[in-house]
Structure 1
Amino acid sequence: MTQHPATPLPPPKERRRLREAAALTQAQLASRVGVSRETVRAWESGRTTPRGRRRDAYATLLAQLAQPVPSGPAPEVAPAPAPAPVTTELPATAPVVIAPPDSAATHPVLTPGQSTLEKEPVQGDEPEQGDEPERGPALLPAVSEPAGVTAPLTPAEAFDALYAFCAPALVRQAYLLTGRRELARESVERAFQLAWQRWPEVAVDRDPAGWVRAAAYEYALSPWHCFRPRYRHPEPPPADASDRALLDVLLALPPPYRRTLVLYDGVGLGLPETAAETEASTPAAANRLLHAREAVAERLPELSDPAVLHQRLAELASAERLRAARPPAVRGGSERRARFWTRAAIAFTVTLIGATALTLRTAPTRYEPPVPPGETVRGVPPRAAPGPLSERELELRAKLREEMVNGPERLVPQPE
């Protein structure tokens, strides 16, 4: 059997230059090759190398992009329609999505007998997607990247755009994790408030949506909420019986298993990305996913298929009417919280300085020995309460009055 030589590919930097020169986004190039945007990003960074038919398709596309464009009059381009206004209201009938369409690549199906992945992605090896099952709609809003270069956004505009894109889906994801509508909204708002406080760090992050998602999940799964009076009693369950059963199964899972299941089967992340976000190794994340699927399939056998489970998670998240706050309100709340804690820190510092100064002012400058405790004198009768004197006390008083002497000699003991 003869083996054909691998199709030559340009270096990773040249691949990215060719794509940018053709005014193509990673999502558009990924749709042409038939892979996900994360795969194209890995190819252009040099972390992985395509193999097989994907390598041939990718090399052919890059060769076409490298060909010079014939000169001629530029074709007229119809003006793009005005984008629809972005709203954060989540109607109950709207379809639920958790990941952009270019990242909705399916994952290899893990059987309950596997303890880890059958095949780990390594350098130079890219998993095939031909045998992967079809996935339903993801749990994030679908967006398309602009083809042209726009003017730079202000920090507030960039934050509002990220919030409008991620907040509606994050509220639904947090609801799957907690089963509480109010806690889901609060978790997303606190995560975005923290993101606004650290916006210089979040703005340059490789995945700002993932940064906010991790913060929202951490706050939603915090065990301290059980001590808050408003969250001691359960909220009304979903109206549909199947939704109630699925939500009960999810809430019965341990928090790490629940988070792994939502990220992999709900959001549609890959196993390495899920392991990184849950701060676990890839084999540990695979085991958590398998155990979570087994627990769900044990109580709900119809959800043993990962594709069906993904669809049911999307339906459960979209069944509830969840509403996210407006971006200006979130930014204002973050600024008020920052001002409050700043003023509290200043007040505490001033109080500490004042207490220290008062202590230094009133503290003694020399050693003063403590006053020794009093000694008991024998022969002195105890003090009596107010009232008539007894016969013995009257005799003692008369004796003392008779023997009382004036002057210093009264202190000299007299012999009896």
Structure 2
Amino acid sequence: MTRDQVANPVGVTGGTTAPRQEHEELPTTPLTPAQAFDALYAFCAPALVRQTFLLTGRRELARESVERAFQLAWQRWPEVAVDRDPAGWVRIMAYEYALSPWHRFRPRHHRPEAPVTDPSARALMAVLLKLPPSQRRTLLLYDGVGLDLPETAAETEASTPATAYRLMNARATIAARLPDLADPSDLHDRLTLLASTERLRAAQPPAVRTGSERRARYWTRAAIAFTVALIGTTALTLRTAPTHYEPPVPPGAEIQGVPPRVGRGPLSEAETKLREKLRESAAKGPERLVPLGR
């Protein structure tokens, strides 16, 4: 990834890289991966945080989504660096994370968010957050970021007619509640103004790279520990498992005609005398072996 590719990434604002003049010299020294990542982050992250805030209405979630997207980009940097639109790649990851339904189970998601100070911007934000997530994302990409309809459809993984339908419904909902924004150009200007009025700061690029590497090490160790535990469990199972088939013991069946077993009763008088006599006799000695004479 060269310096020109980082300076004007395609897809950030819908524009393309400006054509080169013939007398300009091409750079000969390529950027290192860390320098290219930092340049892409510095160029895209501030605007992407503001876009994600319009998408979610939550400032901390917007910063977290962008940071997580760039952490994934750093983990897959060989893939992202050669992508035709690295900024679009990061934007897709940030939007997907921000719109994840799992955030509703987080305690922080239930805390009230500080409203926007401007009353008109607050009204627009309220209407945006009432739109379905698919319509909100389509509207933001088309009327906010400035992508065309096929690019918006490709990024939202929908067909072009479905994307157009979502866009028209979103515009109709906003026009019904805010008639002064019925014109798409006015809506674009108001979205840009709403995003620019919020002071949202992104983390520094080295901190994002360090966090990405830390998460990668954590998940690598977790995968190794899980693999070791799985191997140990499999070995223990193979060692303790039976080597042949043992049929189950059938339940007992009652036999008819056999008298029930009863316990012995009390000793008779003769048996009691015999027991006392045996107890008084010596337990060992010749008198136990030689019979007594008569």
Q: Report the CA distance between 1:228 and its aligned residue.
A: 1.6
Residues 134-153 of structure 1: pairs in structure 2 closer than 5 A: 148-150=25-27, 151-153=29-31
**In the alignment, which of 86, 90, 99 is matched to residue 13 of structure 2?**
99
Distance 1:143 1:274 in 2: 22
Q: Report the CA distance between 1:282 and its aligned residue.
A: 2.2
Distance 2:133 2:126 in 1: 13
Structure-1 residue corresponding to 2:74: 196
**Could you tell me which amino acid in structure 1 is paired with residue 217 of structure 2?**
R
**In the alignment, which of 32, 40, 50 is matched to residue 172 of structure 1?**
50
**Could you tell me which amino acid in structure 2 is paired with residue 325 of structure 1?**
A
**In the alignment, which of 103, 108, 114 is matched to residue 236 of structure 1?**
114
Distance 2:36 2:199 in 1: 26
Q: Report the CA distance between 1:367 and its aligned residue.
A: 3.5
Structure-1 residue corresponding to 2:280: none
Q: Which runs of 5+ in 2 are unaligned?
A: 275-294
Distance 1:200 1:320 in 2: 33
Does 2:32 align with 1:154? yes
**Could you tell me which amino acid in structure 2 is paired with residue 282 of structure 1?**
T
Residues 11-50 of structure 1: pairs in structure 2 closer than 5 A: none
Distance 2:243 2:96 in 1: 53
**In the alignment, which of 244, 247, 254 is matched to residue 125 of structure 2?**
247
Q: Report the CA distance between 1:368 and its aligned residue.
A: 3.6
Structure-2 residue corresponding to 1:298: 176
Q: Report the CA distance between 1:149 and its aligned residue.
A: 2.8
Distance 1:145-1:174 versus aligned 2 partners, 3 A rule: farther
**Could you tell me which amino acid in structure 1 is paired with residue 13 of structure 2?**
A
Question: How many pairs does the alignment contain?
Answer: 261
**In the alignment, which of 125, 137, 146 is matched to residue 259 of structure 1?**
137
Distance 1:145-1:348 versus aligned 2 partners, 3 A rule: farther
**In the alignment, which of 307, 323, 345 is matched to residue 201 of structure 2?**
323
RMSD of equivalent CA atoms: 3.3
- TM-score normalized by the length of structure 2: 0.79
Structure with greater helix percent: 2
Structure-2 residue corresponding to 1:337: 215
Off by >6 Å, runs of 4+ in structure 1: 142-146, 374-378, 403-406
Q: Which runs of 5+ in 1 are unaligned?
A: 1-23, 28-36, 39-97, 104-141, 382-395, 407-416
- TM-score normalized by the length of structure 1: 0.57
Distance 1:196-1:401 versus aligned 2 partners, 3 A rule: farther
Distance 1:338 1:144 in 2: 39
Equivalent residue of 1:269, what SS? coil
**Could you tell me which amino acid in structure 2 is paired with residue 99 of structure 1?**
T
Q: Report the CA distance between 1:271 and its aligned residue.
A: 1.7
Q: Report the CA distance between 1:400 and its aligned residue.
A: 4.0
Structure-1 residue corresponding to 2:235: 357
Distance 1:245-1:143 versus aligned 2 partners, 3 A rule: farther
Identity in percent: 70
Of 291-300 and 229-238, the range deviating more from structure 2: 229-238
Distance 2:59 2:243 in 1: 62
Distance 1:99 1:293 in 2: 20
> Which structure would you say has the larger Rg?
2
Equivalent residue of 1:339, what SS? helix
Distance 1:285-1:400 versus aligned 2 partners, 3 A rule: same
Distance 2:244 2:267 in 1: 46
Distance 1:363-1:234 versus aligned 2 partners, 3 A rule: same
Structure-1 residue corresponding to 2:63: 185
Cα deviations by residue, 1:204-227 (Å, 9 ceiling, x for unpaired): 111110111111111111112111
